Chain A
């Protein structure tokens, strides 16, 4: 019973190509995220969706376009891939609590290692 799943696990492609990564969560959470982790393990948030609506869009090139067909899915499409896009991309989900309850425990997928040659 995988809580947050991503496909593919590995993706090797050439510069200039367009590729997509898919993410699904079966936890019933309202919020989903995409993160990028570079070779030094630094983790940067890219996007956040709440109930299919974009709520966080950090400074990410327009070549990256997230799509959320329903609240259990958040896909990431990347156009015109560049060498610098090589990284591990993580999907995550959370049930954002009310301010009183506190906490935003996130559940992460296993990651997609993207290599652009």
Chain B
């Protein structure tokens, strides 16, 4: 079956540091890939997505590129802020199965 493996947390960074959260996937066919963010006490919300190989999703300074050759979708941000503290989930949607698979989440804490 499909699976998503993301970097274990928690990750603690200082403000303005560079962020990378690794995500790799296993899926049949050509899945769409997503990053969701969950702020404390809230539901998940879409951060960015990419629907085909070499697509780059971007939003709020975050970026991720769909790499089919390495089956990866790593999340990056050049300069994090305290307000970026949240749990980040990598996910895929398998159009053949009509089903989403989520990673285990990575907790990010940014300190001033």
Interface residues on B, range: 20 to 34
Total inter-chain residue pairs, C-beta < 8 Å: 64
Assess whether A83 is interfacial by the CB under 8 Å rule.
no
| B112: chain A residues within 8 A (beta carbon) | none
- On whether A96 and B51 interact (CB within 8 A), knowing A43-B105, A108-B45, A110-B43, the answer reads no
Assess whether B72 is interfacial by the CB under 8 Å rule.
no
Assess whether B15 is interfacial by the CB under 8 Å rule.
no
| B43: chain A residues within 8 A (beta carbon) | 4, 90, 92, 108-111
| B30: chain A residues within 8 A (beta carbon) | 102
| A101: chain B residues within 8 A (beta carbon) | 51
| B104: chain A residues within 8 A (beta carbon) | 40-42
Least Cβ distance of B24 to chain A in Å? 18
Interface residues on A, range: 20 to 34
Instruction: Check B107–A41 contact: CB distance below 8 A.
Output: yes
Residues of B near any A CB (own CB < 8 A)? 30, 32, 34, 36, 38, 42-46, 49, 51-52, 87, 89, 93, 95-96, 98-100, 102, 104-105, 107
